[in-house]
Structure 1
């Protein structure tokens, strides 16, 4: 019943995958204090190289993008060299790996980068405290100027170039889960009245500028994007958001990306203004390679692919619990159940 998961899949003329199972990006907060990937991280990813493609944990593009402790970066020579150890280890085990590029926007905190402001589309703060550092409360962000937005676009493109220098096979732009790019795409966090706000075209502008800058720098075949059309994390829902994604998805389809990846924790979650599941909403508007994720078993994921709901399946927490996930599923062996204490170490 799961045979389709283990069929090769061609993303494009440059990148082919040995199977349809991706390791989803999983924030582990295990980089060193200079945000450099460690030898333990290299071994951790190498053990999972049987995935058709690994998407790295979210990796910040510049210092003020940090919103969690010890998340790796891709903006210093030391970080690039650290990631090179990871990509070499994955490639030596026959795998492929994309870097997920990240700026947390209004969920960043100056504590991490010795700053005094947080940059975001608008001065719309988020209630709550920083994960894993509950003593830090979120701050009301400072709206980015147009000049600062243009610099962010350049910094995303530079981080993508750094990823290729570090040996990654490509990049996935993190445009989901309530972080910076996603903040431009939702009315809850974007109240701008300039060319980056108010209308679907304007609210999509930053995401498309980042995509285009990265595709120009490293090639569209090596450029992917993750999106959350349904606000579900770090974001309040607004029925007007649908019009933004109605505009954005056809624009993305024109760009021949490596793939588009749904950002959702549970794909059974439904959104009234989207007419149901986020993945079904996207599939109806985007016919190129789509990655589904969110609570799938090998069996339900295979069924979803067979039903053409999406083309590739990303698996998250089960990959933490089962470094040999691919072998276990192929051989119909029981999977170790994920538990939160597994986050305390890299195995």
Structure 2
């Protein structure tokens, strides 16, 4: 039986355990999208994780989903990540940047650009802007000739990440952001080669991933997916066939891993495990579940064939989460009020157990 604290060879990167720190937006960058010393401290505190995946990082200007999130769209932003990579490596850790293009989940007041998406269909609800909450705008539908440029942004950001000393990247193909919008049947109403059929709806995800692989190698590229999640109003039809087709095409790219969120029923997730013969990383808790993932959740999915298990909220208040899980120490509960923005409170001031 696979155990959470066994080491794992991730495409040549040795992980001392199978615990992954999941990507979580903490909104602590500068207004210019630069990573900060405070962010370096935050990730270094959690470097005992087998792998850290950072906050969502915007790959180009129009892809920035919120103010105060970090970017890898410019050389200056890339250079700011060097302090994060160095801090994590000094503590013996490994870190991938999550590349997150918001697509329609953004607002023109954030970056001065009209949001773009597969179709001119607004997302539901509001998003945070520099002046407070605002309704999501109708995005501009990308012309067919423009789509490859947005796909290429992931590869360009991936190259900057490696130049800055990070160990790899994870494409955010989950939770209703741009890749998920192309996979969708209600956010994507296109009739060209990027819409309609399953083959066309997976095309953008494959092109974006292949672009990153071309720039930095498949062994340093992962992708996160959330089948049937319904987040940010994104719906999918023929979900099983859609994701099986996507995994089949991704299988040719020799990726470091696929990161599945437990957003679909177990039967579908198990079918996807059977279809994917590479490393599978599972986040065992649906984003809408109030509880934090625990050791029981982790062992369930290791027994179901997952290779690595990601923990999100549990890492916020427990910088030493790996040791707490190993020893059975209490798992602290994070302060929801300090999840986003702010200073060190609720960010770098959580103590280790017994401190």
TM-score, scaled relative to structure 1: 0.92
Tell me, what secondary structure is at the counterpart of 2:333?
Answer: coil
Taking the aligned partners of 2:258 and 2:203, their CA distance within structure 1 comes to 17
Q: Which residue in 1 is equivalent to 2:289? A: none
Instruction: Report the CA distance shift for 1:37/1:236 in structure 2 as closer, same or farther (over 3 A).
Output: closer
Q: Which residue in 2 is equivalent to 1:330? A: 326
Tell me if the contact between 1:187 and 1:241 (Cα under 8 Å) persists in the aligned partners. Answer: no
Structure 2 unaligned regions, length at least 5: 286-292, 349-355
Q: Which residue in 2 is equivalent to 1:171? A: 169
Structure 1 unaligned regions, length at least 5: none
Taking the aligned partners of 1:113 and 1:65, their CA distance within structure 2 comes to 9
Taking the aligned partners of 1:92 and 1:60, their CA distance within structure 2 comes to 26
Taking the aligned partners of 2:30 and 2:85, their CA distance within structure 1 comes to 17
Matched, 1:129 2:122: no
Matched, 1:256 2:246: no
Aligned counterparts, 1:261-272, within 5 A: 261-263=259-261, 267=262, 270-271=264-265
Tell me if the contact between 1:48 and 1:324 (Cα under 8 Å) persists in the aligned partners. Answer: yes
Aligned counterparts, 1:299-338, within 5 A: 299-305=296-302, 307-338=303-334
Shift of 1:10: 0.8
Q: Output the aligned Cα RMSD.
A: 1.8
TM-score, scaled relative to structure 2: 0.90
Shift of 1:329: 1.6
Aligned counterparts, 1:104-183, within 5 A: 104-115=102-113, 117-131=114-128, 134-183=132-181
Tell me, what secondary structure is at the counterpart of 2:82?
Answer: helix
Q: Deviations over 1:175-232 (max 9, x none)?
A: 1110001101010111100010111111111111111111111001001101122132
Q: Deviations over 1:147-201 (max 9, x none)?
A: 2111112221110000001111010011111000110101011110001011111
Tell me if the contact between 1:230 and 1:278 (Cα under 8 Å) persists in the aligned partners. Answer: no
Matched, 1:10 2:9: yes
Q: Deviations over 1:24-62 (max 9, x none)?
A: 001001101111011110000000000000001000001
Q: Which residue in 1 is equivalent to 2:208? A: 210
Q: Which residue in 2 is equivalent to 1:284? A: 274
The correspondence for 2:224, drawn from 210, 223, 226, is: 226
Tell me, what secondary structure is at the counterpart of 1:168?
Answer: coil
Shift of 1:17: 0.9
Q: Which stretch of the first structure deviates more once superposed, 131-140 or 56-65? A: 131-140
Taking the aligned partners of 1:201 and 1:291, their CA distance within structure 2 comes to 24
Tell me, what secondary structure is at the counterpart of 1:4?
Answer: coil
The correspondence for 1:339, drawn from 328, 335, 339, is: 335
Taking the aligned partners of 2:109 and 2:268, their CA distance within structure 1 comes to 34
Taking the aligned partners of 2:267 and 2:58, their CA distance within structure 1 comes to 29
Instruction: Report the CA distance shift for 1:231/1:335 in structure 2 as closer, same or farther (over 3 A).
Output: closer
Shift of 1:303: 3.3
Q: Which stretch of the first structure deviates more once superposed, 79-88 or 254-263? A: 254-263
